[in-house]
Structure 1
Amino acid sequence: MTRRWLRLVLLLVPALLAAAETRPVVRLNTLEWPPYTTEALPDRGHTTAVVEKVWQAAGFDPKIRFRPWSRTVREARTGQNQIEGYFPEYYAEALTANFLFSDPIGGGWLGLAEQTERPIRWQRLQDLKPYTIGVVTDYVNTRDFDAAVRDGWLRTDEASDDQKNLRKLLYGRLDLVVIDENVFAYLLSHDASLLPGRTLLQINPQKLEYKKLYLCLRKSAEAERKMASFNLMLRQLQDRGEIPLFE
């Protein structure tokens, strides 16, 4: 009996491997943006875990690569390295010319980091005119904030990632930094170069906006089919309580 089972297993393994190989692949980029997406955590961040679980449940084989943000978006837009899309992204009307947006896959508060000893009082974006504000290159922020930057009446200073902006804030080279509050808390707890920020930096109590997170696929007929499958499975997993609702 044991030998028969062994022979059966040996016969089935190639068939199972072949079946796995025929699962359609979806190639995506993401970035180091902990705790949402990061290679430093076992599940590669809770947003990565959601994306992988949904694609796998929908019958796809997700291939996810970590890249700097500007490259993440550029490769998704051009199809370089066969990249079909990226995550996580904030919604912006300008991006819909090239990308399909999924249903929400997460969310968090976007705020302003500041020096603890130099708190800034503000109510409207116009109140921020006197200050230099750190932003990450190619990040979407809020519609009104980004419009103010384009119109030239908000002064910003760009960096390639949130860590660089926070270090500049620590050294007094910036007055404020636009940053997701969960990312801010994670970086101050885990990045050794930012440990002084635990006491020297804080999030301004006036928030910018609650931002939902999305998966983006470059527009095509195939992308529409894949996105429909993704959204359907996302809703099914949420209905079963296996993934939180992101409303």
Structure 2
Amino acid sequence: MLLELSLGVDVIDAYREKHENHQATCQGNLILKLFYIFFIIWISLSLSFSCKAIETINLSTFEYPPEHSQVLPHHGVVSHIIELAFAQVNIKVKWSYYPTTRAFMMAKSGRVDGTASYGYSKERIEGMYMSNSIISSATYFYHLKSTDFNWHNIKDLAGLRVGITNKLNYGDLFNNAVKENIFIVDGAQHDDLNLKKLLAGRIDIFPMTSGIAEYALKTRFPKGALEKVTYNKKPIREYDSFLFLPESLLKSEALLASFNQGLQKLQKSGQYQQILSNYYNGYYSTAIVNAKK
């Protein structure tokens, strides 16, 4: 009887041990399965982030220093803002340079992913998505320091010789004044030609964007040219510059949302303000001047 009880206890112990081993094996298998599941998820996320990090888009632009240029640090101040905004959402920018009109048409036809930067117009927005404002600019009347010039309304320009660069938009106020022949228009094909005429005294005033004019005078004219010129602090036009993406490309709408999101992140981080501070302090023009020495 005792032998039978002993055998029974042994059987129970053996069963319990086997059951516990089975449970341990099941738990081990469960842990292993969970490990594999988490490992697969981790790999998938890693690959996803990796793919996002190497995404590259092609944008067209044009030479317009210090905002856009192949030879400036970060391709110029506006290009730099665009690059950093896209970098916030893991997108890399590759730039292609064309004449101004062709750069826009390259994007509108879908041959590149987008183009920058341009002001708003009804013609430009047709068939295109437009981003949030990248940078705000203003156009002023530049004149020689030796010229006594001031203006309060457009009629104050009556009788003055005003240089303009053909095909540029100076805003409705100025454009209407041209149509009404309020002042004497002296056109040229390029801003530099108008600046030459201004320095030579052949025109009285010339409207140009602040920053663009200073860069031109500092880098493309004889030493001392910049010191001879100033501008009236009343702007003739204030405008924003934008990134344009073609409606013809399926990814444009999502790309636009990503850019606007990245631009907002850049502004909140303080980097945007630092870029503008560097711009106003001459970083995007002095860097190229120093590089030439």
Q: Same fold (TM over 0.5)?
A: yes
CA contact (8 A) 2:52 2:91 kept: no
1:131-150 superposed matches below 5 A: 131-149=160-178
Structure showing greater Rg: 2
Instruction: Name 1:206's counterpart in structure 2.
Output: 234
1:158 shift after superposition: 4.0
Deviation at 1:48, TM superposition (A): 0.7
Residue 148 to residue 212, structure 1, CA distance change in 2 (3 Å): same
1:23 equivalent in alignment to 2:55: yes
- AA at the equivalent of 2:86: W
Which aligned pairs between 1:41-80 and structure 2 lie closer than 5 A?
41-79=72-110
Instruction: Give 2:171's aligned amino acid.
Output: T
CA-to-aligned-CA distance 1:113-151 (integer Å, 9 cap, x gap): 112222333211222242333333443322322344456
Instruction: Normalising by structure 1, report the TM-score.
Output: 0.76
SS in 2 for 1:58: coil
Q: 1:222 aligns with which of 233, 239, 251?
A: 251
Q: Structure 2 length normalisation: TM-score?
A: 0.65
Match of residue 132 from structure 2: 103
> SS state of the match for residue 116, structure 2?
strand
**CA-CA distance at 1:166 after TM superposition:** 1.0
Structure 1 unaligned blocks of 5 or more = 1-14
Q: Which amino acid aligns with 1:117?
A: S
Q: Deviations over 1:47-84 (max 9, x none)?
A: 111111222332333221233323333433444xx134
Change (3 A) 1:154 1:30: farther
Instruction: Calculate percent identity across the aligned residue pairs.
Output: 22
User: Partners of 2:115 and 2:189 in 1: how far apart?
Assistant: 17
Q: How many residues align?
A: 227
The secondary structure found in structure 2 opposite 1:86 is: strand
Structure 2 residue runs without a partner (length 5+): 1-46, 277-293
Q: How does 1:81-160 map to 2 (within 5 A)?
A: 82-149=111-178, 153=182, 155-160=184-189
Note the alpha carbon deviations across 1:177-202, whole angstroms, 9 max, x for none: 211111122222222x2534223322
* Structure 1 letter corresponding to 2:198: L
Distance 1:133 1:30, change over 3 A: farther
Name which of 201, 205, 214 aligns with 1:176: 205
Secondary structure of 2:120's counterpart equals coil
Q: Which has the higher helix share?
A: 2
